[in-house]
Structure 1
Amino acid sequence: MSFCAIDFGTSNSAVALPEHAGIRLATLEGTHSTMPTAVFFNADENSQAFGRAAIAAYIDGYDGRLMRSLKSILGSPLLESATDIGGGRSMRYLDVIATFLRQLKHTAEQHARHPIERVVLGRPVFFVDDDPASDAAAQRSLTEAARQVGFKDIEFQFEPIAAAFDYESRLETEQLVLVADIGGGTSDFSLVRVGPQRMRQLERKSDVLAHHGVHVAGTDFDRRVEMATILREMGYKTIGTDAREIPNGVYFDLATWHLINTIYGPKRSAEIRLMRHLYADPIHHDRLMRTVTQRLGHALAGCAEDAKIAVAAGSATRIDLELLEEDLSLAFDEHGLIESTREETQRIVAAATHTARAAGVAPQAIDALYFTGGSTGLRFLSNALAAAFPNALPVAGDRLASVATGLGIHARRIFS
């Protein structure tokens, strides 16, 4: 029984372990069975912190480097390059991912009380859209990181299919289910036949009728929110002194977690400083430079994410930008969230309907629409998906743990 399953997510991660005849989730931080996929390299104390502790250390003002959305690096040209982690040190991005996986493995072994060398890792339907070579390279890189931390027997399972296994364990009759796994980095869909008789079979390939996905999800919603609100206060989409729109490259980087740190280097900072003459309103440039010099990019991205979460919970909010400028705050509501993310919502719904078409199944023939992944908590998004499958029963799984549980079920099947 020396195995585990890891849901290495863009926003959150979880670990499943065998327990008697079933599966349990390991507690990763205190009583939490999920942990933000984040690592903070503390230059002041030459240490590392993970998850909520990593974010807290960054907010507390320790010198160092906070890294989130690590999964989004897989399949990108950045992976083999090195990045500054503070204190004059650098590390390959791949080794950063391995550092986080090592922490998950260590925690799993503490719970199991013995070494663990076998693992099932979840993977999105596509790490990289429309690029099979990069997608295959992403899985190889994740395999390399897993081997680097001591896993020897490594298997993969698609994340939405794992979620289907979790749902199946509670069914009494056979169903045709479209699993919608919408997390931080990808929106993945699998059309699967599930039921109590089918779950007894180890080989389930014939039950997977189609799967499809797009590299659009929660972090893209966060980016859109930031660009529609916070970055407008720094000049994004404004017309400059030359009657043209202010160059937008710096704003796109500021709104993308793994690129934020690139704007802090001396050369890039100097280039941004020299852009001042382009701004019709110098206050916009002042705020931008304050963001660069005080390294506020990650904190501002966090403000956008918090605003999205607050509105998704059912209420309008204000985005407090006191860290950027005294008494600066912005109103934000559900209408603003829907409008700013309309394009992403349409792409996600299109991916869902494409999955049904690929299987030759009419949307009306689907029995259930099973939601998992943190971003399915966005009501307008889940409503848009439900509208596309009018006869399907919407079923809410555990948004943060269904995939990990399903991966654990799959791990028990293949390793036992």
Structure 2
Amino acid sequence: MTKACGVDFGTSNSTVGWLGQSAGGGGAAHSLLALEDGKATLPSVVFFNADDDEVRYGRAALADYLAGYEGRLMRSLKSLLGTSLMDGQTEVAGRSLPFRLLLAQFIGELKRRAESQAGRRFEHAVFGRPVFFIDDNPQADRLAEDTLAEVARSVGFREVAFQYEPIAAAFDYESTIAREELVLIVDIGGGTSDFSLVRLGPERAGKPERRDDILATGGVHIGGTDFDKYLSLAAAMPLLGYRGLLRSGAEIPSSYYFNLATWHTINQAYTRKSIAQLEDLVRDASEPGPLRRLQGLIDERAGHWLAMQVEGAKIGLSSEETVVLDLDRLRPPEKLVVTRPRFEEAIGPLPDSIDATVLRLLADAGVTASAVDTVFFTGGSSGVGLLRARVGALVPDARKVEGDLFGSIGAGLALDARRKFG
């Protein structure tokens, strides 16, 4: 059994992979460890339950929040890496909590649950990382990786290595094929879209060094949380006064709506300063009704609830043409109809950036589209039909394969952990 694990700390969901003993005892079988309720994924969510004075994680955290317990919900923690917010803090139960400590609490919980399932301690780990934590800023990108490594070591990982997430997904796909292929790995996750062009095959799989098999990598800081944000701004935030006017003719400041539409800034709408300023805006609004609805949402600390409804619409539109959201916590309640064309219009130019990244990847590799044998999709947001169709159209002759949207990276990291640490 390998002594190391692979950790996919995701913007929306996290997994841990490990090459444990196979069921028959005759060798190693890579698998994802069950982290919550028998499921391999642990939503990257922390809830500080003030009523019960305890910290909850994953689905349990979301359940407490939706049940109406008093407390503080934090999500999309990975999005803080490489930003100035990472050195800041937030208020929890009247106390200041540094974001670094919050990140360490979640990574430590991942480690604890993985070790409990594996029945052993993990002191070595390969962490997945996006091709770019931060676009066009190498210094911030390096800072993000260094911060994650420091946090991982602080919770007991003695040795930490990193692997690009799409390369990890490539290793997972490679374990399933019988001949050599040139594969475009498309990993569209919660916070980033990452791509790799890799030569894969059974004869290559055992090589300790795979650098020559990686023709090119690329990425852009666009992912599922961005799709949530733009859908929220287009469909939900107008119900709360977004783009409404003050009596002076000026537009209502958009900061409230952008904070509520962005997972890792929702709590900024709940500060005393923000609430006091909103009170003044209600008095000055030409139509105060939507702003009063916004006040009610903030008073109930229901920003994450609204974001979850919008995220649910996005997910539903991957398979349905129309989704109806029952926004029963708004006052007055509202039934919001969201269509796939409206969603695709809302995310606007984001698919163009993804297209451009893939075309640049092919150019960097010196490879024509016709040379690509397979497109391998992974990452939860690769289920968005528009994105899949757009990427597929760039390499029309390639076979399209869907991996485990939430598990391929963790499984591939487990394979890489065995290579790196034995």
What TM-score does the superposition give when structure 1 sets the normalisation length? Answer: 0.97
AA of the residue aligned to 2:308: G
Distance (whole Å) between structure 2 residues aligned to residue 237 and residue 34 of structure 1? 38
Cα separation, partners in 2 of 1:106 and 1:278, compared to 1, 3 Å: same
Shift of 1:155: 0.7
1:11 and 2:12 equivalent? Answer: yes
Partner of 1:82: 89
For the aligned residue pairs, the C-alpha RMSD in angstroms reads: 1.2
Q: Deviations over 1:50-81 (max 9, x none)?
A: 11001001111111111111100101101111
Q: Aligned match of 2:371 in 365, 369, 388?
A: 365
5+ residue gaps in structure 1? none
Q: Deviations over 1:371-413 (max 9, x none)?
A: 0000011112101110111111111000000000000011111
Q: Deviations over 1:275-302 (max 9, x none)?
A: 1244222111111211222212111111
Distance (whole Å) between structure 2 residues aligned to residue 318 and residue 409 of structure 1? 42
Q: Deviations over 1:77-101 (max 9, x none)?
A: 011111112x212211111111111
Partner of 1:58: 65
Distance (whole Å) between structure 1 residues aligned to residue 274 and residue 359 of structure 2? 42
Q: What SS is found at the alignment partner of 1:66? A: strand
Partner of 1:46: 53
Alignment of 1:5-404 (within 5 A): 5-20=6-21, 21-85=28-92, 87-404=93-410
Distance (whole Å) between structure 1 residues aligned to residue 349 and residue 236 of structure 2? 19
Does the 8 Å contact 1:179/1:370 carry over to 2?
Answer: yes
Distance (whole Å) between structure 1 residues aligned to residue 347 and residue 396 of structure 2? 23
Does the 8 Å contact 1:363/1:389 carry over to 2?
Answer: yes
Distance (whole Å) between structure 1 residues aligned to residue 71 and residue 47 of structure 2? 7
- Range with greater deviation from structure 2 (311-320 or 142-151): 311-320
AA of the residue aligned to 1:251: Y
Cα separation, partners in 2 of 1:350 and 1:278, compared to 1, 3 Å: farther
Distance (whole Å) between structure 2 residues aligned to residue 222 and residue 349 of structure 1? 19
Does the 8 Å contact 1:36/1:51 carry over to 2?
Answer: yes
Distance (whole Å) between structure 1 residues aligned to residue 333 and residue 103 of structure 2? 38
Q: What SS is found at the alignment partner of 1:342? A: coil
Does the 8 Å contact 2:245/2:252 carry over to 1?
Answer: yes
- Range with greater deviation from structure 2 (104-113 or 397-406): 104-113
Shift of 1:214: 0.7
AA of the residue aligned to 1:79: M
Residues paired across the two proteins, number: 415
- Range with greater deviation from structure 2 (147-156 or 270-279): 270-279
Q: What SS is found at the alignment partner of 1:211? A: strand
Cα separation, partners in 2 of 1:327 and 1:272, compared to 1, 3 Å: closer
Distance (whole Å) between structure 1 residues aligned to residue 326 and residue 350 of structure 2? 25
Does the 8 Å contact 2:33/2:118 carry over to 1?
Answer: no
Shift of 1:364: 2.2
Distance (whole Å) between structure 2 residues aligned to residue 372 and residue 217 of structure 1? 12
Shift of 1:114: 2.1
Distance (whole Å) between structure 2 residues aligned to residue 242 and residue 384 of structure 1? 44
Shift of 1:246: 2.3
Distance (whole Å) between structure 2 residues aligned to residue 73 and residue 139 of structure 1? 12
Partner of 2:25: none
Q: What SS is found at the alignment partner of 1:41? A: strand
Does the 8 Å contact 2:296/2:331 carry over to 1?
Answer: no
Moved over 2 A (4+): 237-246, 276-280
AA of the residue aligned to 2:210: R
Partner of 1:2: 3
Distance (whole Å) between structure 2 residues aligned to residue 89 and residue 254 of structure 1? 23
Distance (whole Å) between structure 1 residues aligned to residue 398 and residue 91 of structure 2? 48
Does the 8 Å contact 2:293/2:332 carry over to 1?
Answer: no
Q: What SS is found at the alignment partner of 1:382? A: helix
Cα separation, partners in 2 of 1:88 and 1:239, compared to 1, 3 Å: closer
Q: What SS is found at the alignment partner of 1:130? A: coil
Shift of 1:128: 0.5
Does the 8 Å contact 1:166/1:409 carry over to 2?
Answer: yes
AA of the residue aligned to 1:331: V
Does the 8 Å contact 1:38/1:54 carry over to 2?
Answer: yes
